[in-house]
Amino acid sequence: MLKIAFFDSKEYDRQSFEAANKDGEFDIRFFETRLTPDTYKLAEGCDVVCVFVNDDINSFVIDKLYEMGIRLIALRCAGYNNVDVEYAYGKIHVVRVPAYSPYAVAEHAMALLLTSIRRIHKAYIRTKDFNFSLEGMTGFDLHGKTVGVIGTGKIGRIFIDICRGFGMNVIAYDKFPAADSGIEYVSLDELWERADIISLHCPLTDENRHMINATTIDKMKKGVVIINTSRGALISTEALVEGIKDRKIGAACLDVYEEESNIFFHDYSNHIVNDDILARLISMPNVIVTSHQAFLTKEALSNIADTTLANIKEFTGTGRSLNEVCYKCGKIADCRQLHEQKCF
């Protein structure tokens, strides 16, 4: 029976994967720890490792997994920036779940936006304390505002549809604009200048790390609202904090944070958090942080488990998977076509 070393597991993962594996086809070993250079040995004796967004699959880990005979890394997420896919190329294949519920993430982005601009987070706390004052609660209408969407893939397009439902004007930037989509694509500079709200829905790559930084914030409208449900390092957090302190940025809605890997998904309510930048952000009344939970719906968890196990079954059975990724994917059109549906 195929043995899967399942890292960074939470109770909800266990429930959804046990339901998907109800016939007992796979021997899944659940580990609460993340996969890191210190924990890779837990995968000894397994055939596949299954990882999530904050596991650290660097060149050292890849070498160690390869020495153990592991030939497949099954990501149970869409993004794969935490895997050194270039180093893995030729050694270990990487499969992912390209879409599990784009609705979950797009809806969470809108939930964050509405919460922020209508001060729901503050109202919730006030009325719990029987404080019914409206001082400081003035929001603004979304209707007629311009939203700039960066990344018009599955999630970005659903977010655009939601925004249009609110009567917003949509402009977008994508490295690979979709033809005939009816989306008004603009340059990044134009997007920074025109958008009242900016929402990030593109993957994190070497070229767009810190795409929101002091220089780009300078080009934005005063009072702009920034939403990030993609990857934390798309934003320079230090520049974001400065932008908020300067009153240039009106609000930030963050489901991801560039230094989240040792913090998010854990309970630090009885600890002093050492990350001063995160602590500063959380202390600001116009910042909402959720801990990478945009994906977390019943539908998404079930889809993640089904697709991850299907990917593993398909790859170990046939040696190929339509959900394989490599560092060339996206750079070379149909890179997998060159190798009969395999990346290498």
Binding site for ligand NAI (CB under 6 A): 78-79, 99, 102, 105, 150-156, 173-176, 201-203, 205, 207-208, 229-231, 255-256, 292, 294-295
Tell me whether residue 42 or residue 188 sits nearer to ligand NAI (CB atom).
188
Tell me whether residue 208 or residue 286 sits nearer to ligand NAI (CB atom).
208
Q: 93, 96, 107, 260: which is the annotated catalytic residue?
A: 260
Report CA-CA distances (Å) from 42 to 30, 35, 37, 47, 49: 10, 9, 11, 12, 10
Q: 108, 231, 258, 336: which is the annotated catalytic residue?
A: 231
Residue nearest to ligand NAI (CB): 153
Give the contacts of 294 (CB within 8 A, at least 6 positions apart): 104, 105, 108, 109, 229, 255
Quick one: which of 48, 94, 70 has its CA closest to 336?
94
Q: Could you tell me the smallest distance in angstroms from the CB atom of residue 102 to ligand NAI? A: 5
**Using CA atoms, how far apart are residues 242 and 214, in angstroms rounded to an integer?**
8
**Using CA atoms, how far apart are residues 289 and 185, in angstroms rounded to an integer?**
29
CA atoms within 13 Å, Cβ hemisphere of 222: 2
Give the contacts of 24 (CB within 8 A, at least 6 positions apart): none
Q: Could you tell me the smallest distance in angstroms from the CB atom of residue 157 to ligand NAI? A: 8
Tell me whether residue 133 or residue 187 sits nearer to ligand NAI (CB atom).
187
Tell me whether residue 47 or residue 56 sits nearer to ligand NAI (CB atom).
56
Tell me whether residue 70 or residue 311 sits nearer to ligand NAI (CB atom).
311
Q: Could you tell me the smallest distance in angstroms from the CB atom of residue 296 to ligand NAI? A: 7
Q: Is 292 a catalytic residue?
A: yes
Give the contacts of 82 (CB within 8 A, at least 6 positions apart): 51, 53, 54, 55, 56, 57, 261
Q: 108, 119, 157, 292: which is the annotated catalytic residue?
A: 292
Q: Could you tell me the smallest distance in angstroms from the CB atom of residue 303 to ligand NAI? A: 11
Residue type, 98: P
Tell me whether residue 131 or residue 181 sits nearer to ligand NAI (CB atom).
181
Which three-class secondary structure state does DSSP give residue 67? helix
**Using CA atoms, how far apart are residues 15 and 163, in angstroms rounded to an integer?**
34
Q: Could you tell me the smallest distance in angstroms from the CB atom of residue 242 to ligand NAI? A: 23
Tell me whether residue 51 or residue 150 sits nearer to ligand NAI (CB atom).
150
* Burial label, 242 (beta-carbon count in 10 A; 0-12, 13-18, 19+): middle
Residues, the chain: 344
Token pair of 55 as six digits: 């596991």
Question: How many CB atoms sit inside 10 A of residue 126's CB?
Answer: 17
Q: Could you tell me the smallest distance in angstroms from the CB atom of residue 168 to ligand NAI? A: 19
Contact present, 71 and 321 (Cβ < 8 Å): no
Q: Could you tell me the smallest distance in angstroms from the CB atom of residue 43 to ligand NAI? A: 24
What residues are annotated to the active site? Answer: 231, 260, 292
